[in-house]
Structure formats: structure tokens, C-alpha cells
Structure 1
Amino acid sequence: MDSLKGLTDEDPRAIGAYRLLGRLGTGGMGRVYLARSEGGRTVAVKLVRAELAAEREFRDRFRAEVAAARRVGGRWTAPVLDADTDADIPWVATGYIAGPALSEVVDGTYGALPEYGVRRLAYGLSCALLDIHGAGLVHRDLKPSNVLLTIDGPRVIDFGIARALDAVSEHTQTQVGMVVGSPSFMSPEQVRGDRVTPASDVFCLGSVLAYAASGRMPFGAPESGVHAVMFRVAESAPDLDAVPKHLRELIGRCLAKDPEERPAPEDLVSEIGPVSSGGASSPWLPAQLVAQLGQHAVRLLDTDTPPSGQPARPGRTTVTAAAGSSGTAAASSSETVAAAPPETAGGAPLGAAGEGPSEAAGAALPEGAASRTTVLPAGSGSVAGQAGGREASGPYGSEGAQGPHGHEGAHGSGGPSGAAPYGSGSAVPAPRRRRWPLALGAVAVVAAAAGVALFTVPALGGSGESDGGSDIPAAYVGTWTGDVQRDGVPTGQQRRFVISHGSVGEVVANSISLGATYECKSDGKLVSVSDAGGMRLDTTVVGSAPEGRCSALGEHVLKRGPHGTLVWSAAGRTATLRPASHEVVPKEYLGTWQRPNADGIGTQVLTIERTPVGSPAVRIDVRGSGGHCTARADFYSADGKLSVGPSVVERRAPGCAASSSSFFRIAGDGTLVRTFRGDDKQPRAYTKVQ
């Protein structure tokens, strides 16, 4: 059971509108606090590490993850309630789940769950995956410490968090001692670095169920060697000898090496749902643990809100420092970044051979930066991370860590094609099921009074209704791309949308606008949707390359077009959008490529990595007579060729400048050919480094 620790001088007293009660723990992403809202709701607030917040790639990914995770509904997950991803130190608040992690229960005094408990666990986790996949996400880190146990069933936390941590540089991971991933609960696709789909979560579900049923990890614990575990995950059969025989077949199918052979979560719900222990289900957790849950709820009722610190005013994010701590907490005023042409580098582009000039003044402005408010919390220093073999038993890292986050960008669900339509708005609804009485009614009453997430949930069996709630028609959901025109004339811009299920007022779309010399990323809130008016979005810019280059276009309208297309329009621009077909960098482009500089002194080295759309896929390292330059470029698409955005210089030297957008292709002789979109430089050929 999680242990609430008192606040120290290094801890803030309030984050946003939440008064902190104590510290729940420290995990890979930062500190996690127990807090209360002004309305009295008990929440868990995660304050991101300063080292992570300083990395733009992590911040961009984290912003997208939180926006996507807020669309996950259902009773089987911890809801995302609030967040400020643009604060100097970002934070996210989730519903607090008053229950231990599965890892605490199995590794602690209780041991493996009984067979009926494992079946109920399997049902709840399958329902959770339906909700997560239905929102267009893949969990990517389903493991025992991310499964919390309550009287009425399991709850899943941290969905998509691994995707946000993927954006963290190796230097930062080493600096804070962070380990990304849990080898014993990875899927073969994750181990191999292949494309990850919802089927990956089903494999991880199988590993979690095997662990819950036997007390043993089916592919071994990391203490036996991380690489050995990862090899067994990818190549060896799971160890299910200690799993009850009636569960082995179900768990074995989840652990199929081929993703196509694994059952879908909706199939598992249908298969497990009719199983019931009789007219009324008995408590699924050990009696001693159920009693401890009640004691924990009573303690939570007795936890008083510290007197120091003032709640934040609505609409402003603040982190209130502890009394007597060094520094002062302050919030910056909203800052609007005006759209303006970028500076022209003037000198030779990136290295002796050049990587391309910046855009000249006077070009049409793309969509871009909106106002944002940032806050620097005083007195909150960096938090030491933990590295180790076996995963921490609690949900809060070394002391714990709770709170769901989303998937890269925000992939749509049930869409037309590609990796984005993970899950579907038309997923098979969970069957109607009979409600089961709680064994300890008093515990339920106490927990409810404490603001704890205890629900009366359906038992296994019967038939039931699923939660709908999306205002977005299924025909809109998915990933779409197209070329932009103005007055019927091509502008050279490209537009990409990822549309997910959601409701009016929520972020339901992520967009990338790619021009010859810029890349703009935006989030779109749903204003309205109708058959006649189509889908109307109000957008906010969340990323700009070059920085400050982008500005908002105003209202965006998307309508259904002929032959399965969408027609987009905004600020006099239009585009016919078609379903996107690729979401990852193709295998043949991966690796390190190089070419000599034009003056014969030094080299240009390109490293191409497998990343999702909108994330840095190309790393550029130039060493020459002018010094050492480094840059990065985001992956945009891979339809016949690898298209990337303009490079962003990270390390400058005399003569360095950002390049224009470009695309790559593999030539017949095996060389990598790069063609620039925004200048007259000749194509460049790179050879593979063996």
C-alpha cells in the first residue's frame, strides 16, 4: 500500500488549484503528490523533472500525450483531470486511486491471486485496453506497477507514458539515472524496435496475468540479465508451469509472438465476461487486503490540508513554494509570439558543405504560435531518479508514480488507415453484466466520503452497455494528409491531421503544416460538428520551427469529400486530405549515413532513427573547417520517400544555419539521396556506414 510522506522544504505547497497533502513518491518523470482540489476531490499531481522539462522534444511529446490521455474514459483507468503542459515545470493531475499496485500485492505478503481473482483482473484490464485503444492510444508500458487494485476491480495508470519518455535524450537519461521500459513486461515488437500497435498491449497483458496467477515473470526477472530477458521475450516460449491450467490457454494466446495471432481486447471481454461464480460475485481480493483498503480510506479522511499555500486563481498556473524555502514562486504573464520571418543566417549553411539557408522575408506565414503562460516553481530542485533491474513494486517509482499520459501526437481510432486508427469508436461494446455487492459496505462508504475512486462495477457475466460519448463521426477519425492550395494554386505546403474521438471543447485533432522552410504543429479543439457544417476546430500552435515563425490561422473546417476524402479549409487555404498510409520511418532508411564536406575537410553524418510523425528522425552532425555543428529534423511522412521538416540547429559554429525541408530516397546503387525543397542546392548522396 502506498505510503504518504510529509512535505519537505523542497516541496511546493500548491500546484495550480491543488493544495498538496503529502508526497506519494518519486518516479522516472518526477515527483508525485497527493493533493485536494478546491472542490475537495483527492487527486494525484505529477510534477515533471526540471531536466525533462528543459528538453523541447520531451515537452512537445508530453503535451501531446496529456491531450490524448484526457480523451480516455471508462471506469477502468485513472482519469486525467487537469494539466499545464506549457508551464516552466509541467504537471498533470489524475484521479487518485486508493489501492496498491499489483506488484505490491504479489511481491508482498499476499502472493499470487486466486484463479477467480485473475479472471476478474483479466476482464478489467481488457476493458481498460478497450478504452485506451478506443481513444487512439497504445499503453506501451502495461506492467504490474501500473495496475492498481481496488475493492471493485483493477485500474490502469500511466497509459502512454513510455512514449513521452522516448523523446528524452540519452544524456538526460544518464544524468537523472532514468531507465525507460520494463524488459520483463515488453512485447517482442518493443524489444525488436518494430512498429507497436494495440496487439503489443495484449502481449503485455498476458505477461501481467501470468505474473498475477503464478507470482513469477513468464520470461524471467531482470536480475537474470536484461538482455537475456529481452531475448526470451522475443524468441522463447513463456514459463507458464505455475499458472493454473484453466488459465494457461487464455494467457498463452495473449503471449503469441505474432501480433496477428493474439486475441483483441474485445474478444477477451466477450470470452471472460460470461464467466461468473454464481448469482453474486464474491470479493476478488484477499480478505486481509480488502480490510487494509478500508483502513487506508479512513487514514485519507484524517489527512488535513496543510495551512500554508494559497490555491491558484483560475486560468493561471502557479507552483507555491514552501514557507522559508529559497527562491520565490512567480508566474509569467501570457506571452504572444508574433509571426515573423526567421533570421537569415547569411553565412554558409550548416558546415562547410552547407545545409541550406533560412527562409527569406516576405513569404506567406504558416499557422503558428499562440499565447502561453509559464511558471517557474521556486525551491523545487531536480529529483534523483532510480535505475535498477526489477521494477519498483509500487505505482510511484521508488516511492511510487501515478498518472496516465497519452500516445505520440494523438493517433485517431477507428480511422481510415495507417498506424493512427488504433482501436475503434465502433469497438464491440462490453456485454451487460450484473452488479456485484461489495463485501465491506462500510469500507465503500468511508472510501466514497474520502473522495477515493471506488465505483460499483459490473461483475463477470451478463450483458451491458458501453460508454460512447464521442461527438466525432467515425468517418473523420484517423490520419489524413494533403497538399495545400490557395485560390486553386498549389502553395507548396503540406497539411497533416490526426483526428481522434472526443467531445465539443476537447482537443480532438493534432495538425502539422509543413512548408519549404517551416514546420508548424497545432492542437485543435472541437467547436462544433454537423452534417452540413462539417467539423469546426479552434487551433492553438504548440510547436514552431524555426521558433516564432508560426501563427494561428483561426477557424479550421473539415468536411467529408468524395471518394473517402476530407476537405480542409482555413484562412483562404484548402486541401483535399486522403488517408495516410505510413506512420513510421521505413527500415531501409535507418542507420548512419555520411558524405565528405564540399571543401574536402571533414564530414557530414546523418543518423536516421525510427520515430513517430512529428518527432526528430534525422540527426545531422557536421565537422569541418568551420567547427562542429549539430541539428535535427522531424519526420513528416514516408509515402514513397522519407519527408522531413526543416532542420533545427542545436549546436552552432561559424557558418551554421538551418536547412529547408527535404526528402530522402534510396537510389539504385544503395546510396541515400537528399533533396531540398526550399533552395537551389543540388541533391546530396550519402553512403551507409557499416
Structure 2
Amino acid sequence: MSMARANRGVQALAAHDPNTVGPYTLLGRIGAGGMGRVYLARSDDGRLAAVKVVHEEHTAVGEFRDRFRREIRAAQRVGGEHTAAVLGSDADADLPWIATTYVPGPSLETVIREHGALPTESVHALAEGLLKALRGIHDAGIVHRDLKPSNVMLTVEGPRVIDFGIARAVQPSAESMLTSTGMVIGSPGFMAPEQVLGESVGPPADVFVLGCVLAYAGTATLPFGRGATNQHAVMYRIVEQPPDLDGVDDEALRDLITRCTAKDPDQRPTVAALLAQCAEQEWGEDGQLWLPPELVGQLARRATELLAIDAPIRAREERVGTAPDQPRQRKREHRGRGRAARWGESRRQTRRKRR
């Protein structure tokens, strides 16, 4: 079985990819974007990590490495509640890198695309988890600036926010390319009005985008429309028009999203106020029950598939005597896995009959 088939979130390393980055052995490529390439890796003590290597063009911009160091120091202060903790970094490497805890769950974007909108109770738990993540990020002096469904990973313990470590460090170099490439800083559909207008961005911008993410999770529809053909139309609606919340049936959730997506940053509630609202309404994660059973089964299978990716490399290291001394951390078994798998199989059989 190929690596790509074993785990659709991890692709085989390309010929030009390195085999190691710092103390990490690379196992496969997770993805790439405007900031850099992201790899699945394993440390010497057997811990899985996501290692992001910054693109070379960013390092050519003056003061980048100093900004990178400052942002990493700030990211290391984030408590780790519903976020991917920073494990290591090197701002002085030829290509600077940062390693964070690898979150094996699928992204919110993938789940919505493959399964549709989440149940209301799941969106409630998602809201509380994302708010706790933002509380830790903001308390560390960081504004995420790119809180989008692909940066929200789903696990049985709750959502985890990733990619908050270097966004501000690379922003000046991204801005320098704006006029020549037409690149949009941020993700159309998940930007605050002040981002669209090029104004200063603070924690209220993350609150605005949180409202967009929750609307998308609950309806499988972008609240300001899609920008595949016309990003400018989406950005106009973000600045001038209210979000489309027709598919949000839960009154409390609709109220929270409406408050988050106020056009004026000063009119948006703080993360603390929103967490208090969640507590008052008794929103929150119910252990392993916060996601539908089919998704719980998918998460369990994904954890198992990671073993298939790592096993060949680990076996080769053992043959040549280079295996790490520490045993691999065992993946926890999740209760309800059998029930979830049966439920998922019945769903798949139903889909096949419909075809």
C-alpha cells in the first residue's frame, strides 16, 4: 500500500525533499503553502511532529530571522489547550523551520467537504474548543490571522488549532509580493473586514473569522460566498454585507455568530465574554462524544494508518542499528470504535445502494 493511500493526509517525499530537518526524520509531506512546506516527521525519542520549513523567498527579506525568532518565542508561550504545541525550531538554519505536535485528525475543511455540516451539538463543542485555543494564542501576544477550516484539526479530545507560529513573521515579505503577484494576505471567505481593508489587525479579527468558521461548520456553506471565480466579490461582501446564516437553525449559535461578525472590531465580543456565554449555555465537549460516531471511527483508523507509514522506516533503522532508544508512544484505543465502524459501514452501504 502506498503512503498516499495509507493516509490521504500524507504524501510520499519528493526527490528534492530532505530526509531530515534538524533532529527530525521526515516520513512524508503533509502539504505546502505560501509560507512553506510541511512534513510529517519523527523525533529521536519517537514523537511524531509536523515540521514546517519556510520558503526561501521569505529568508531573503531583511529582519525576517529576527521576526521569526520573536514569533516562535511567543508561540512557545501558548499553553497548548486545543493548539498544537511548539516542540522546536531553528531560525538560523539555511531554511528556518518550526516543529509542532502532529495532530493526526482530519481538518475541519476535509470533514465538511466529505461528510457535510456538523450536528449542532458538535458545533457548540467546536466553538468552545476554538475559543479556548484563541484564549491561549492571544494571551501569548499572538494574533492568528489565518484561522480557517484547514487550520482546525479534529480529534476525539476536541478541536486543535494549528499554524499560529509564523504568520506574522512572514507577513512583511508577503506584503512585498502583493503588487507583483496579486496574492491576497489571508484566506478569502475567512478574513475580517480590517484585513480586507489593509488596516491594523488585532484579536477581534480572529473573533470575526471564528464566526465564519462556525457558520461554515454548521451549514457547509461559506457565510460570504465562494471566491473561486471572484475573490473581490467575496471581500466586498465581507466589508459591506451581513453573513448568510439562513442554514443556522440554532438560535443561540446564530446569535453568537452574528455578534462575532460585527463589521466594527470594537463591537465584537472578547474571547473571554464568548467563553462565558458558552459556559452559561452549557456548551462544551462531551469527551469522545462530541463528534458523530462515523468521524470517531475515521479518527481511529487514521491513527492506525500512521503506524503503517512509520513502520518501514523504523524497521530499516532497527536493521542498521539506528532506531531511537525510546519506544514509540502507543496510540490510545478509543471507546466506541467498533460501534462507530459499524455505523460508518452502514452509511457507506446506503450510499452505494443510492448510486
TM bracket (short chain): 0.7 to 0.9
Give the corresponding residue for 2:351. none
TM-score relative to the length of structure 2: 0.81
SS of equivalent to 2:141: coil
TM-score relative to the length of structure 1: 0.43
Is contact 1:78-1:155 (8 Å) kept? Answer: yes
Unaligned runs of 5+ in 1: 312-436, 444-690
Distance across 2 between alignment mates of 1:214 and 1:126: 19
Q: Which digits, 9 at most, give the CA deviation of each residue in 1:346-378, with x for residues without a partner? A: xxxxxxxxxxxxxxxxxxxxxxxxxxxxxxxxx
Unaligned runs of 5+ in 2: 1-6, 323-332, 340-355
Give the corresponding residue for 1:287. 293
Q: Which amino acid aligns with 2:80?
A: G
Distance across 2 between alignment mates of 1:45 and 1:133: 23
Q: Which digits, 9 at most, give the CA deviation of each residue in 1:659-685, with x for residues without a partner? A: xxxxxxxxxxxxxxxxxxxxxxxxxxx
Distance across 2 between alignment mates of 1:2 and 1:78: 20
1:99 Cα deviation (Å)?
A: 0.8
CA 1:224–1:59 in 2, change beyond 3 Å: closer, same or farther? Answer: same
Say whether residues 1:141 and 2:121 are aligned partners: no
Say whether residues 1:46 and 2:58 are aligned partners: no
Q: How does 1:115-134 map to 2 (within 5 A)?
A: 115-134=120-139
| Matched pairs, number | 317
Distance across 2 between alignment mates of 1:442 and 1:71: 39
Say whether residues 1:203 and 2:99 are aligned partners: no
Give the corresponding residue for 2:41. 35
Distance across 2 between alignment mates of 1:9 and 1:175: 30
Distance across 2 between alignment mates of 1:157 and 1:148: 7
The structure with the larger Rg is 1
Is contact 1:141-1:160 (8 Å) kept? Answer: no
SS of equivalent to 1:34: strand
Q: How does 1:619-630 map to 2 (within 5 A)?
A: none
1:273 Cα deviation (Å)?
A: 2.4
SS of equivalent to 2:147: coil
Is contact 2:300-2:334 (8 Å) kept? Answer: no
CA 1:75–1:185 in 2, change beyond 3 Å: closer, same or farther? Answer: same
Work out the percentage of aligned pairs sharing the same amino acid: 52
Distance across 1 between alignment mates of 2:164 and 2:285: 34
Give the corresponding residue for 1:158. 163
1:88 Cα deviation (Å)?
A: 1.3
Distance across 2 between alignment mates of 1:46 and 1:24: 9
Q: How does 1:189-588 map to 2 (within 5 A)?
A: 189-246=194-251, 247-276=253-282, 283-302=289-308, 303-304=310-311, 305=313, 307=316, 439-440=335-336
1:208 Cα deviation (Å)?
A: 0.5
CA 1:227–1:90 in 2, change beyond 3 Å: closer, same or farther? Answer: same
Q: Which digits, 9 at most, give the CA deviation of each residue in 1:56-77, with x for residues without a partner? A: 2433332322221111113210
Q: Which amino acid aligns with 1:29?
A: M
Is contact 2:239-2:263 (8 Å) kept? Answer: yes
Q: Which structure dedicates a bigger proportion of its chain to strand? A: 1
1:131 Cα deviation (Å)?
A: 0.4
Note the aligned Cα RMSD (angstroms): 2.9
Distance across 2 between alignment mates of 1:176 and 1:232: 23
Q: How does 1:15-94 map to 2 (within 5 A)?
A: 15-94=21-100
Q: Which structure dedicates a bigger proportion of its chain to helix? A: 2
Is contact 1:211-1:218 (8 Å) kept? Answer: yes
Distance across 2 between alignment mates of 1:224 and 1:438: 42
SS of equivalent to 2:154: strand
Is contact 2:124-2:284 (8 Å) kept? Answer: no
Distance across 2 between alignment mates of 1:269 and 1:183: 26
Q: Which amino acid aligns with 1:270?
A: A
CA 1:438–1:46 in 2, change beyond 3 Å: closer, same or farther? Answer: same
1:55 Cα deviation (Å)?
A: 2.3
Is contact 2:30-2:39 (8 Å) kept? Answer: yes
Q: Which amino acid aligns with 1:240?
A: L
CA 1:279–1:120 in 2, change beyond 3 Å: closer, same or farther? Answer: closer
SS of equivalent to 1:230: helix
Distance across 2 between alignment mates of 1:172 and 1:95: 30
Q: Which digits, 9 at most, give the CA deviation of each residue in 1:280-325, with x for residues without a partner? A: 66612222221111111111123233648999xxxxxxxxxxxxxx
Q: Which amino acid aligns with 2:154?
A: L
1:177 Cα deviation (Å)?
A: 9.1
SS of equivalent to 2:16: coil
Q: Which amino acid aligns with 1:440?
A: G
CA 1:48–1:442 in 2, change beyond 3 Å: closer, same or farther? Answer: farther
CA 1:280–1:45 in 2, change beyond 3 Å: closer, same or farther? Answer: closer
